[in-house]
Amino acid sequence: MTMMVQPFLQRSTSERDSSEFYTIATLGSHSALQILKGARDEGFKTLAIAAPDTERLYKSFGFIDEVITIQKYSEFMGLVPELEKRKIIIVPHGSFVAYLSLDDHKKMSIPYFGNKAVLDWEASRELQRQWLTRAGLKVPRQFRTGAEIDRPVIVKLYGAQGGKGYMFLRHSQDFDERAGLLARQDYILQEYVIGVPFYIHYFYSPLTGKLEIMSMDRRYETNVDSLGRIPSRAQEGMDIDPSYVVVGNSPLSLRESMLAEAYRMGEDVVRVSQEICGPKGLFGAFCIETIITPDAQFYIMEVSARIVAGTNLFIDGSPYSYLNYSEPMSTGRRIAREIKNALLSNSLNTVLDDSTQVS
Ligand code: AMP
Ligand code: AMP
């Protein structure tokens, strides 16, 4: 990976012309406001695809030029032929993964910011584990059967959204008692790492070969983040189980002596992605979800290969993006800036998935 800092271009008429030519579109949910505000700030037209219950919200923002309403987000594929006829670039976020099937997501033929080859490596917990391990990152131990469990574990259901249905088990007897609940479900048994969850947001530019740390957050999860508010003595006999349903996020900064390691982890994840997912590898926004233990070790729970909702805290920029930019730079705006720089250097296809290239 080349480490080259390219000075960002000053706004000029030709720059405005190139970005005004295209519309940046996304599903109205997750981080759509951030993406579309960033797109407008970089001079693009903006389009939100909303559902009947979100239409009024997206129409209420002046930076959104157009709202198209569909009955359900899962019906998005029906809109694709119409969008294909226009100069549209799709910026995906978590709702594309949550509401579209992997097949539809891959089939969508509109110019798409990102590399869809990463989707398979991200969607399979096994492939993702291989990716992280090959990058030299520490991952929690995994157990194949209940009998193997020799420490606290978290049961993660496949396809769970936002931690829904996850379970904490203290030991293998716990597993035996819950086995009935887990029958006919696909799940993994992962070592429960005791430490602080820390989500690090990155941006890797395929145009400059440079990785940036954009921001960081922690998730606020119910009820696990509130159990400390009740003394453990009082919890005894209350039949409370921790659950991990995300409802919000709060900002964090990382102890500076740990920042070099966070940066290295991002570089390693990108480097290995270029070996396993074709030369383009993982580019644009991504997040490494970590738990940091008392000996300052990062354990990696997951990689999210696109903008994560924790970046919504930083629509006006973060302490880290401020170090790289002298203007507010959200992750959404950084994506639009990359598309704009690609247009200006006649290399739009560099930032689009290979199956959605423009001529
Ligand atoms: P939504 O658009 O809210 O239905 O979310 C789509 C996906 O993104 C779901 O899998 C959510 O769990 C995840 N997600 C949404 N909002 C957040 C958030 N604030 N923090 C972390 N993940 C989120
Ligand atoms: P995930 O679906 O991997 O994003 O996990 C959702 C939440 O479950 C995380 O934000 C953590 O609070 C918790 N979690 C996931 N994996 C682990 C683990 N190995 N150890 C402890 N907590 C975890």
The predicted structure's pLDDT at residue 180: 83
233 within a domain of the structure (yes/no): no
If asked whether residues 128 and 203 sit together in one domain, one would say: yes
Residue nearest to atom 19 of ligand 2 (CA): 192
Residue nearest to atom 23 of ligand 2 (CA): 192
Please state the atom number of ligand 2 nearest to the C-alpha of residue 166. Answer: 8
Q: Does 305 contact ligand 2 (Cβ within 6 A)?
A: no
68 within a domain of the structure (yes/no): yes
Separation of 189 CA from ligand 2 center, angstroms?
Answer: 11
Query: What contacts 162, CB < 8 A, 6 or more positions away?
Result: 245, 246
State the residue range of the domain holding 208. Answer: 15-135+194-223+247-353
Cβ–Cβ < 8 Å for 243, 231: no
Percent of the chain with pLDDT over 90: 80
The predicted structure's pLDDT at residue 330: 98
Separation of 348 CA from ligand 2 center, angstroms?
Answer: 36
If asked whether residues 149 and 293 sit together in one domain, one would say: no
Sign of the Cα torsion 18, 21, 22, 23 reads positive
Residue 4, pLDDT above cutoff 70: no
If asked whether residues 113 and 38 sit together in one domain, one would say: yes
Ligand 1: lining residues by beta carbon, under 6 Å: 29-30, 94-95, 98, 161-162, 219, 246, 248-249, 309-310
If asked whether residues 46 and 86 sit together in one domain, one would say: yes
The predicted structure's pLDDT at residue 2: 39
The predicted structure's pLDDT at residue 20: 67
Taking only the tens place, the pLDDT of each residue in 178-229 is: 888 888 788 899 999 999 999 999 999 999 999 999 999 999 999 999 999 9
Query: What contacts 209, CB < 8 A, 6 or more positions away?
Result: 1, 2, 3, 4
If asked whether residues 81 and 161 sit together in one domain, one would say: no
Ligand 1: which of 161, 215, 303, 311 to mutate, judged by most atoms within 8 Å of the beta carbon? 161
Taking only the tens place, the pLDDT of each residue in 238-247 is: 888 899 999 9
Q: What is the DSSP string of 276-295?
A: HS-TT-S-EEEEEEEEE-TT
The predicted structure's pLDDT at residue 8: 40
Ligand 2: which of 128, 139, 149, 154 to mutate, judged by most atoms within 8 Å of the beta carbon? 154
User: Rg of the chain over CA atoms, in angstroms?
Assistant: 21
Cβ–Cβ < 8 Å for 98, 259: no
Measure the CA angle with vertex 18, ends 14 and 22; round to 5°. 160
Separation of 244 CA from ligand 1 center, angstroms?
Answer: 12
If asked whether residues 119 and 178 sit together in one domain, one would say: no
E-only strand ranges, 206-357: 210-223, 244-251, 284-292, 298-304
Q: Which ligand is nearest to the CA of 312?
A: 1
Ligand 2: which of 139, 198, 216, 301 to mutate, judged by most atoms within 8 Å of the beta carbon? 301
Cβ–Cβ < 8 Å for 338, 205: yes
Residue nearest to atom 17 of ligand 1 (CA): 309
238 within a domain of the structure (yes/no): no
Please state the atom number of ligand 1 nearest to the C-alpha of residue 248. Answer: 19
Q: How far apart are CA 38 and CA 35, in angstroms?
A: 5
If asked whether residues 184 and 255 sit together in one domain, one would say: no
Taking only the tens place, the pLDDT of each residue in 290-335 is: 999 999 999 999 999 999 999 999 999 999 999 999 999 999 999 9
If asked whether residues 155 and 78 sit together in one domain, one would say: no
Q: How far apart are CA 148 and CA 160, in angstroms?
A: 24
Q: How far apart are CA 59 and CA 49, in angstroms?
A: 11
256 within a domain of the structure (yes/no): yes
Amino acid symbol at 119 = L
What are the Cα distances from residue 236, in Å, to 63, 227, 233, 261? Answer: 52, 12, 6, 39
If asked whether residues 28 and 99 sit together in one domain, one would say: yes
Separation of 301 CA from ligand 2 center, angstroms?
Answer: 6
230 within a domain of the structure (yes/no): no
The predicted structure's pLDDT at residue 5: 36
If asked whether residues 66 and 187 sit together in one domain, one would say: no
CATH number for the domain harbouring residue 40 = 3.30.470.20
Number of domains composing the chain: 2
If asked whether residues 168 and 198 sit together in one domain, one would say: no
Q: Does 140 contact ligand 2 (Cβ within 6 A)?
A: yes
Question: Can you read off the two tokens belonging to residue 20?
Answer: 């005004």
Q: Does 166 contact ligand 2 (Cβ within 6 A)?
A: yes
Q: Given pLDDT bands bounded at 50, 70 and 90, which one contains residue 1?
A: very low
The predicted structure's pLDDT at residue 160: 59
Mean per-residue pLDDT, 102-112: 95
Query: What contacts 119, CB < 8 A, 6 or more positions away?
Result: 97, 102, 105, 106, 305
C-alpha dihedral over 68, 351, 348, 357, to 10 degrees?
Answer: -70
Separation of 351 CA from ligand 2 center, angstroms?
Answer: 31
C-alpha dihedral over 38, 273, 248, 105, to 10 degrees?
Answer: 70
Q: How far apart are CA 321 and CA 314, in angstroms?
A: 9
Taking only the tens place, the pLDDT of each residue in 219-232 is: 999 999 999 999 98
Mean pLDDT over the full length of the chain: 92
Q: How far apart are CA 167 and CA 153, in angstroms?
A: 8
229 within a domain of the structure (yes/no): no
Q: Given pLDDT bands bounded at 50, 70 and 90, which one contains residue 159?
A: low
232 within a domain of the structure (yes/no): no
Q: Which ligand is nearest to the CA of 188?
A: 2
Measure the CA angle with vertex 254, ends 249 and 260; round to 5°. 130
If asked whether residues 156 and 74 sit together in one domain, one would say: no
pTM as predicted: 0.93
32 within a domain of the structure (yes/no): yes
Nearest to 311 by CA among 283, 291, 285: 285
The predicted structure's pLDDT at residue 157: 84
Separation of 162 CA from ligand 1 center, angstroms?
Answer: 6
Amino acid symbol at 111 = P
Cβ–Cβ < 8 Å for 25, 48: yes
Residue 9, pLDDT above cutoff 50: no
CATH number for the domain harbouring residue 158 = 3.30.1490
Q: How far apart are CA 213 and CA 76, in angstroms?
A: 32
Q: Does 302 contact ligand 2 (Cβ within 6 A)?
A: yes
Q: Does 303 contact ligand 2 (Cβ within 6 A)?
A: no
